[in-house]
Amino acid sequence: MNDSKTLANLMEAFAGESQANRKYLAYSKKAEKDGKLNAAKLFKAASDAETLHALKHLEVAGKISTTADNLKDAVAGETHEYRDMYPDFVKAAEAEGNKAALLSFTYAMKAEEVHARLYQEALENLDQTEEVFYYLCPVCGNIEKFVPEKCSICGVPGSKFIKY
């Protein structure tokens, strides 16, 4: 199935379902802020449904491997984003004077570098049995292994971080 039309279709469907998941989640949060709770719940349910579809497509495509291989893939993906993709996006946003996009891209670029490091660290310590906790900044996506006083990327107070 490596070069088949079906594999290409599975990966296209995975991308589309993944994007729909995030879009509907954003719509759900907006509807909730607007006090439209029924619409918010529907968008959230649809978001979760799209996730189910995306995960099944990825599985059927054979793109989920061993944890070690998945970590290596994650390191490569995050590294590409912070080294290649986001720097180009930052330059374009700067050139166009789009400050909101510039900030969004910059936060993501810095967070992706942290993600790559954490994935590499997890790969190197794959057989560690001591439980590790991670803390997510809800503004920029930075992840720490401790609750910081404030986010090193965007400055949000550590008390806002979400524990995993």
Q: Where residue 99 sits, what CATH number does that domain have?
A: 1.20.1260.10
- pLDDT for residue 151 is more than 90: yes
One domain for residues 122 and 79? yes
Computed over every residue of the chain, the mean pLDDT equals 97
Domain, as residue range, for 12:
5-60
One domain for residues 30 and 49? yes
Distance CA 31, CA 101 (A): 23
pLDDT digits (tens, 9 = 90+) for 42-66: 999 999 999 999 999 999 999 999 9
Spatial contact of 108 and 74, defined as CB atoms under 8 Å apart = no
One domain for residues 55 and 71? no
Q: Quick one: pLDDT band at residue 1, thresholds 50, 70, 90?
A: low
Task: Find how far residue 70's CA is from the centre of its chain.
Answer: 15
Check residues 3 and 64 and name the one with the higher pLDDT: 64
pLDDT digits (tens, 9 = 90+) for 5-34: 999 999 999 999 999 999 999 999 999 999
- pLDDT for residue 68 is more than 80: yes
Spatial contact of 141 and 107, defined as CB atoms under 8 Å apart = yes
- pLDDT for residue 2 is more than 90: no
Distance CA 159, CA 28 (A): 24
One domain for residues 120 and 82? yes
pLDDT exceeding 70 applies to what percent of the chain? 99
One domain for residues 70 and 86? yes
Distance CA 62, CA 120 (A): 23
pLDDT at 3: 75
pLDDT at 24: 98
Distance CA 151, CA 111 (A): 11
pLDDT digits (tens, 9 = 90+) for 84-136: 999 999 999 999 999 999 999 999 999 999 999 999 999 999 999 999 999 99
Question: How long a stretch of residues is the chain?
Answer: 164
